[in-house]
Structure 1
């Protein structure tokens, strides 16, 4: 039976979704792993999103808390709001109380990735504050550390991400995710899928 890795995300301008797509490719590069993309529910109206200049949502299915239990490994992605995950993703986590009561997600490997508007916009505080969500559910946080190698030490090009997970900078929404950021996202998917496979194999 295939090992399931779910990439669950919320994306405003498409940056987090682009990272999610590459993370999926990375996860699926590990033999025996199936990866699936999921979005969390939107909490803003179409009118507000239009005023923000946000593009229409993709056709990636919207996840419910119960579906999280079907995954062997999880990777969560979100844009930053004031150094923490966006409210839409926090609202989704707030809806998982039933899973928390039964600790249905305990022991599952989980990673995080993120997007910020600027270099000082919360690339690490967003990750640090997100870890509390994983901790209360008993999930096992899997950072990428410095396993991405030389790409972690790039100083000439602007690059999002950190040892906590892949990342990108959105700027005013017009900046595109760079090739180096996509490579890091692919690496994260492969890294966490590999660890999930080891966990599942030893279960």
Structure 2
């Protein structure tokens, strides 16, 4: 039986894109999983992105299609990823959420699996609060919220700096964005993708 998984992300410097790719890889390990990687439309102008030094980084995932909020209901599971802005999702991701009113009105996402991942500039930069704030969207849409259980032993890794927790995968970028996702963080992301796809498959089979 096939299960459809959409991974919808907003990335500026590529960290969230790398995490999204790892989540997709994990989801594809589940037999019958049809995985689609999508990005949220950018609202910043090329001029501003250039000043931020993000234009070159964005070229690496420019090929990823833009997500249509009205098509989320096609999926059995949707995994959203966003960087952190003061402990909440980016304005771009929030705008995407705000464009799903018709799905809420029709109950199109009720019973679908929802999951979240993020990135922060520092170790205590708001990974938990960002995911928890995004979680309100999943709950208002009636989705079944799935995190990362401590059965994933990489959550307890103590030998080096690592993002991620029971709420969802995460990566720490460094203040200047120079730190890319570690293998431990990518491993948690792969686990999350696989875990979400497995649960979605079980729910779809009922």
Q: Which category describes the TM-score, using the shorter chain as reference length?
A: over 0.9
Q: Distance in 2 between matches of 1:27 and 1:135?
A: 22
Task: Identify the residue that residue 49 of structure 2 maps to in structure 1.
Answer: 49
Distance apart, 1:66 and its partner CA = 1.5
Number of residue-to-residue matches in the alignment: 201
RMSD between aligned residues: 0.9
Q: Distance in 1 between matches of 2:4 and 2:161?
A: 33
Task: Identify the residue that residue 101 of structure 2 maps to in structure 1.
Answer: 97
Query: Is this contact kept in 1: 2:27–2:197, CA < 8 A?
Result: yes
Distance apart, 1:144 and its partner CA = 1.0
Alignment partner of 2:180 out of 176, 182, 195:
176
Q: Distance in 2 between matches of 1:18 and 1:194?
A: 21
Task: Identify the residue that residue 130 of structure 1 maps to in structure 2.
Answer: 134
Task: Identify the residue that residue 111 of structure 1 maps to in structure 2.
Answer: 115
**Matched residue of 1:79: which SS?**
strand
Structure 1: runs of 5 or more not aligned: none
Q: Distance in 2 between matches of 1:116 and 1:91?
A: 20
**Matched residue of 1:131: which SS?**
helix
TM superposition score normalised by structure 2: 0.95
Distance apart, 1:146 and its partner CA = 1.0
TM superposition score normalised by structure 1: 0.96
Structure 2: runs of 5 or more not aligned: none
Task: Identify the residue that residue 39 of structure 1 maps to in structure 2.
Answer: 39
Distance apart, 1:65 and its partner CA = 1.2
Task: Identify the residue that residue 22 of structure 2 maps to in structure 1.
Answer: 22
Alignment partner of 1:120 out of 121, 124, 129:
124
Alignment partner of 1:74 out of 61, 71, 78:
78
Distance apart, 1:145 and its partner CA = 2.2
Mean Cα deviation higher: 104-113 or 57-66: 57-66
Off by >3 Å, runs of 4+ in structure 1: none
**Deviation digits for residues 97-136 of structure 1, max 9, x if unmatched?**
1111111111101110000010110010011111101111
- Within a 5 Å distance, the mapping from 1:157-196 to structure 2 comes to 157-171=160-174, 172-196=176-200
Q: Distance in 2 between matches of 1:56 and 1:187?
A: 25
